Structure 1
Amino acid sequence: MSLSRVSKLLAVAALTGAALATPGDPWVVMDSQSKEHGKSLSAIDFDSASSGWAVGDHTDHTTGRMTAHIKRWDGAKWSDSAVGDLAGKDVALNQVAAVSGNDAWATGMSVPPPQLRKATRSPRPGSPLQYRDPQRGLQAGLLTAAGTPYVLTHWDGQKWASVTPPQPAADKDALVSDVERVGDHALAVGLERKLDPQTGAPSEQMGFLDRYSGGKAQRLELPKELTAKPSAVFSVTGSGAGDVWISGAFVTPDKDSPYAAHWNGTAWTLHELPVTAQFPNGWNADQIVTSGGTVHVSGRSLYTDGTLTTGYRFDGKAWTEWTDRGLAEINDLSVRSDTTGMVAGGWPTLTSNVSQYASFTGTTWTSHEQPAAFAGKEGQVLGVAWLPGTDRAMGVGYTNDESEWGGVYYVTASRS
């Protein structure tokens, strides 16, 4: 069977059991900014219904410089926030976790001048492949000098201030792929990578797990099974210090072998996820959440050698394929604070460039189109998050049009 045929079948299977998209309802526009103004948002999170953050970058279209951009939710509206000592620095933010009203964390990376930015390559060491997802490609293409840590900033209830992150090896830089609140602190996952300074292609890389607590960052030890060969960690979730899940992939030039791993407070358990004969180059387990007592992993192939979207779920005894995901390709997942439901942002099919949302009640998925102002416009939902204690969620992303700086960056919200 051809890869294109397999992809089409998987796209259909991913939507099995999901209701058709509801035009523009229940999602509404909360905030939007023309791309001409250069402000973009990549991630969103809330510590309460009246307190939250969205982070991204501000690009000067004349010089190409990128600086940090942060927005604040006060329960009624979004407004620009001061970025503290990151002001004026060449930085792009891409992840945020809100632990409490006086404890939030945002990560990103130092951005080289436009003339020093390299062509984007796959994170598979030694592979010439490129990303097919422009947003991932942009992030991976912002290569920093060897020995450069990722950017980390902390909100203490009064201001944002930089915090020193773990230092990578002298020949590697570091990239954070996810930051989440887990119990009373935040956890970050990502990878350190050694890069060819001419091509930007990695020759080796290793996943990491960091803990943010008490205003400081700490590198945690991963099991030898995850560090004995090239790996990446893409997502993290959990209920507390004795219950943490991470997901990612072991990477070689020809194959991504997906995994999930669980920490029970004493030891790690590694779960290697299936790679099918129909798609032998594998996939990345790039979203992991726990809802209704079940672990859900959503993944995909990231590269131009073919397209695969898939998912698996774990009931504590066995992994089974997760086909009723509401969307064919998921960019982000968030779970209600009571763990009974989920919201996802992404694309309804493998060939669609028009993003949608999907909500899960615990039994049924329902897909929702973007609000009328964005209806039919190509683009991506980059981040979604539930407002704690409510039945509402919000998302950040962007739309495109044909002009050079056309389209908008937005915050949207579900009515219920």
Structure 2
Amino acid sequence: MPLPRISKLLSVVALAGAVFATPGDPWVALDNQSKEFGKFLTGVDFDAPNSGWAVGDHTDHGSGKTTAHIRRWDGAKWADSAIGDLAGKSASLSQVAAVSGTDAWATGVPVAAPEARKATRSPRPHSPLPYRDEQRRFQAGKAVAAGTPYVLTHWDGQQWTSVAAPEPGADKSALVTDLERIGDHALAAGFEQKADPETGAPSEQTPFLDRYAGGKVQRLELPAQLTAKPSAVFSVTGKNADDVWISGAFLAPEKDTPYAAHWDGKAWTLSELPVTAEFPNGWNADQITTMGGTVYVSGRSLYTDGTLTTGYRYDGKAWTEWTDRGLAEINDLSVSADGSAMVAGGWPSQGSNISQYASFDGRAWTSHEQPAVLAGKDGQVLSVAHVPGTDRAMGVGYTNDDSEWGGTYYITASKP
């Protein structure tokens, strides 16, 4: 099968996405609390109007111990959920997929002892904000000794119970970078890699794609084109088991080469996306989703000597630049179950630290500011998800202020 052609080279000019979006109503705050309480949410998903989950971690500022944190949506309010056999264990959750009321999954990493944790520096130049997934860059020091599986827990309708994740190589750590419902099951995308014990610098990345179904985990086979050299899967989306898209990058010290790949039930088709001479360090294809027969990819560079934010879309024939993205820098994308709407969370312009949302109805983008209680504060949206059977979407993230533990962790929603 021939690979889809690339019809236009990448432009390295930063796109001020807000110019493509008409201002709309701000979102509303449903759940927010001071970071002084140590609770942090990074992922959100729903299986019904009255059933959803938000996951993260809870750090005791006195002892430094970090444990899993889960919130439950019942259609009217958010409340803390029992975390099952993760109680008392050092763990941080980052991704969640709600397949049904009796089938939900959350992933994360085991957390190293407080004294072993390292400070996380931002790969966003001139910004106090860390990159969307601090765990992705292992310098965060959260992962315990190499060879330890990632954290995986399953909701069966009654309780959360740990499930054994595939063991990484003896000298590698494993990280799930995206977790999505695909038809009647969930797919987890990620990678294993070595990390320098002194600097945390990553090497020898190996991608993986895990299927969660029937309460069990199955590691799927990826194409040889992807596994023959260091690479990572950063995002996954799809309609069913025979229509799956992934995106990521081939990773090298001097350049990250982005890609997108499609599984049609029989074979994988992989396309490398452009890296131009004007920005030779390359970029990562962080997010992939589909809407109305079009595949959308957003991405950015991770290098501190300059930042590129970009996007591409595929119409079934060719990849072209996705310039009217609504936001310049996107942290997360979600498309409604009926395919009629897309929502993005991120920043309206390159270098901005005040996050926004943007919604797309297939014709035009509308921008949405944070609720008044969060407005104008530095911060970032970490995850967004549509609520099935409604016209609403919700997001999780945080804001900062000048004090050590200052700011807010929040759950917000579009207006009904």
Structure 1: runs of 5 or more not aligned: 1-5, 124-129
How many percent identity over aligned positions?
Answer: 71
TM-score of the pair, normalised by structure 2: 0.93
Alignment correspondent of 1:414: 414
Alignment correspondent of 2:381: 381
Superposed CA RMSD in Å reads 1.8
- Partner of 1:374: helix, strand, or coil? coil
How many pairs were matched up? 400
Alignment correspondent of 2:4: none
Which whole-Å deviations, capped at 9, do the CAs of 1:256-294 have from their partners, x for residues lacking one? 000000000000000111112211110000100001110
* Cα distance, 1:74 vs structure 2: 0.4
Alignment partners' CA distance in 2, 1:76 and 1:16: 35
* Cα distance, 1:240 vs structure 2: 0.5
Alignment partners' CA distance in 2, 1:376 and 1:256: 33
- Partner of 1:415: helix, strand, or coil? coil
Alignment partners' CA distance in 1, 2:35 and 2:131: 16
Structure 2: runs of 5 or more not aligned: 1-10
Name the aligned partner's letter for residue 361 of structure 2. T
Matches within 5 A, 1:68-147: 68-118=68-118, 133-137=130-134, 140=138, 141=140, 142-147=142-147
* Cα distance, 1:403 vs structure 2: 1.1
Match status 1:351 vs 2:354: no
Alignment correspondent of 2:63: 63
Specify which of 17, 22, 47 is matched with residue 20 of structure 2: 17
* Cα distance, 1:350 vs structure 2: 0.9
Alignment correspondent of 2:223: 223
Name the aligned partner's letter for residue 211 of structure 2. R
Matches within 5 A, 1:163-174: 163-174=163-174
* Cα distance, 1:121 vs structure 2: 8.3
Q: Is the 8 A contact 1:177 1:235 kept in 2?
A: yes
Q: Is the 8 A contact 1:152 1:164 kept in 2?
A: yes
Alignment partners' CA distance in 2, 1:202 and 1:221: 23
Alignment correspondent of 1:126: none
Task: Identify if the C-alpha distance between structure 1 residues 121 and 247 changes in structure 2 by more than 3 Å, giving closer, same or farther.
Answer: farther
Q: Is the 8 A contact 2:132 2:331 kept in 1?
A: no
- Partner of 2:15: helix, strand, or coil? helix
Which whole-Å deviations, capped at 9, do the CAs of 1:139-195 have from their partners, x for residues lacking one? 531232111110000000000000001111111110000000000000000110111
Alignment partners' CA distance in 1, 2:362 and 2:335: 11
* Cα distance, 1:138 vs structure 2: 5.3
Q: Is the 8 A contact 2:30 2:412 kept in 1?
A: yes
Alignment partners' CA distance in 1, 2:72 and 2:376: 28
Task: Identify if the C-alpha distance between structure 1 residues 179 and 292 changes in structure 2 by more than 3 Å, giving closer, same or farther.
Answer: same
Alignment correspondent of 2:34: 34
Alignment partners' CA distance in 1, 2:83 and 2:297: 33
Alignment partners' CA distance in 1, 2:367 and 2:220: 38
Alignment correspondent of 1:310: 310
Name the aligned partner's letter for residue 136 of structure 1. D
TM-score of the pair, normalised by structure 1: 0.93
Task: Identify if the C-alpha distance between structure 1 residues 121 and 202 changes in structure 2 by more than 3 Å, giving closer, same or farther.
Answer: farther
Name the aligned partner's letter for residue 263 of structure 1. W
Q: Is the 8 A contact 1:118 1:199 kept in 2?
A: no
* Cα distance, 1:368 vs structure 2: 0.7
Which whole-Å deviations, capped at 9, do the CAs of 1:350-371 have from their partners, x for residues lacking one? 1210000000011000111101
- Partner of 1:372: helix, strand, or coil? coil
Alignment partners' CA distance in 1, 2:334 and 2:314: 17
- Partner of 1:36: helix, strand, or coil? helix
